[in-house]
Structure 1
Amino acid sequence: MNPHTPTLELTQLSKKLGGREVLKQVDLIVQPGEVVGIVGSNGSGKTTLLRLVTGLIYPDRGVIRVKGKRVRPGLLGDLPLSVGALIETPSFLPQFSGFQNLTMLASIQQKIDKTDVYQVMKQVGLDPENRKPVRTYSLGMRQRLGIAQAVMEDPCLLLFDEPTNALDDHGVETFSSLLQELIEKGASVLLVSHVKGEIQRFCDRVFQIEEGKLLSVQESTKQKWRLVVSSWDDVEKLTKRFPHLQIDQPVNGYPAVVCISHWVSQAELTSEMMQDEIQVIEVQKQI
């Protein structure tokens, strides 16, 4: 397979539901390691688009390809095997624990074992040894479990529908860290939400669905910044905000780090650092 093959290609994709054309000639390409977001109101077609990519429903017209291979829905179809998805409210067998649910799902493709399930549950902030049935889980715990089932087999493409729904602040940070790890492994992510701020936080490119059309809203505003700070305590504070920051060569004995953020100016960066009580000695935007 060509390493430059897009992870996801949608070509002239159209779909009617209830006599209404919810998607009209949608074209989209998602490259390896890219996070693409789609924002739209309820009923705009966001979730329908994800269902089409997984092969859960048929397009009326158009072509879907995952890693160059055409998706053909149906019992005799050719569904994508390396796709992880969290679409709408996650559903599990209520009488079994989270660990039991994920273990049963893992047995279908047999790509991972119980040790992998154990690790991914810890990664999303769930206790794999908690034997309480899923019916006793809070909404936030169910959402974490849904994220775990989507990512546990290291798919090349991840589809997330309102992924931070019901998550507290710690849960959102956990998801952000997990997303960064997946991107570093080369996974691609298609994320949909009705909350524009959430989309902008995570995504390299942002689109909006209006009357079935996919409209470009924003290219990536992420910048790489090199910060020299006064102490390793400041580095520790930065690590909590940017789990994947890189430690750089010290400058005159002071620690230096490189991180990626949506800061658009040095003034904005400095203001945020002051709020977090991080003493910045030197700032440099990197190209």
Structure 2
Amino acid sequence: MALIEFKNVSKSFKSNPIFIDVSIQFEKGKIYGITGNNGSGKSVLFKMICGFIPPDKGQIVIHPDYLEPKNKFPKNFGIIIDRPGYNASKTGFDNLKSLAIIQNLISDEEIKEAMKIVGLEPENTQKVKHYSLGMKQKLSIAQAIMEKQEVLILDEPFNALDRESVDNIRKLLLSYKMNRKTVLLTSHNQEDIELLCDHVLRIENHKLTETK
């Protein structure tokens, strides 16, 4: 059984079709790149996978290992879609701590470790309102990985990162694949797609077509 499967999925907004009769499968332990022009529906695709918005027609099936009874949102998914909202007057660690408390799955040390992995200093007392765009992006990635999620849904994870940080996050994602974890990502940088992705899917003419 596929990790994620689209069965004849269609989605429109105000009579404007985004997807028409899309059927596709995503398998465990691979990195998938989603490409397409601005406004083609990359973020919509991710939001439907995560249960944030429903399809108009068809079905999106998540493997039962990643579902909980009576919860439409998949579990064990780390997500970056749009730009996450943080409390600007708190530090990066305090923001992540506030989010971690929701499920209470990880310790302070595990939060700090996730920050270090992406290149942030957990003891930094700088408030998020003073973070650079690159630091905010690293904080988003730390949030997506800190609970050791099995599936990452990452919309433009490399935005605003310097070259060293890009290389670091690429290595991180490849290590995820080596550990049989699954990554779906978008990137405007073709190099990211070519270096990382086992499969590349392009959104065009309201369809999702495999190009690699």
**Do both share a fold (TM > 0.5)?**
yes
Name the residue aligned to 1:49.
45
Tell me by how many angstroms 1:39 deviates: 0.4
CA distance in 2, matches of 1:25, 1:184: 33
Distance 1:56 1:135, change over 3 A: same
Tell me by how many angstroms 1:157 deviates: 1.3
Tell me by how many angstroms 1:116 deviates: 0.3
CA distance in 1, matches of 2:178, 2:118: 17
SS at match of 1:108: helix
Tell me by how many angstroms 1:71 deviates: 7.2
User: Structure 2: any 5+ residue segments left out of the alignment?
Assistant: none
CA distance in 2, matches of 1:81, 1:70: 5
- Counterpart of 2:39 in structure 1: which amino acid? G
Distance 1:70 1:126, change over 3 A: closer
Contact preservation (8 Å) 2:12, 2:18: yes
Segments ≥4 residues shifted beyond 4 Å: 69-72
Tell me by how many angstroms 1:18 deviates: 2.5
Contact preservation (8 Å) 1:41, 1:194: no
Name the residue aligned to 2:114.
120
Higher alpha-carbon Rg: 1
Could you report, residue by residue, the CA deviation over 1:120-163 in whole angstroms, capped at 9, with x for unpaired residues?
00000000001111110000000001011011112221101111
Name the residue aligned to 2:182.
188
RMSD: 1.8
CA distance in 2, matches of 1:11, 1:102: 35
User: Structure 1: any 5+ residue segments left out of the alignment?
Assistant: 219-287
Name the residue aligned to 1:83.
77
Which structure would you say has the larger RCO, counting Cα contacts within 8 Å and 6 or more residues apart? 2
Give the alignment of 1:85-234 within 5 angstroms: 85-218=79-212
Tell me by how many angstroms 1:170 deviates: 0.6
TM-score, with structure 1 as normaliser: 0.70
Could you report, residue by residue, the CA deviation over 1:186-226 in whole angstroms, capped at 9, with x for unpaired residues?
211111233333222210010110021011111xxxxxxxx
- Counterpart of 2:156 in structure 1: which amino acid? E
Tell me by how many angstroms 1:90 deviates: 3.0
Give the alignment of 1:10-49 within 5 angstroms: 10-49=6-45
Tell me by how many angstroms 1:88 deviates: 2.1
CA distance in 1, matches of 2:92, 2:62: 29
Give the number of the structure whose residues are more often strand, by fraction: 1
Contact preservation (8 Å) 2:11, 2:55: yes
SS at match of 2:21: strand
CA distance in 1, matches of 2:176, 2:34: 19
CA distance in 2, matches of 1:103, 1:51: 24
CA distance in 2, matches of 1:154, 1:25: 33
TM-score, with structure 2 as normaliser: 0.93
Contact preservation (8 Å) 1:11, 1:64: yes
Could you report, residue by residue, the CA deviation over 1:30-57 in whole angstroms, capped at 9, with x for unpaired residues?
2221001110011000000001111111
Count matched residues: 211
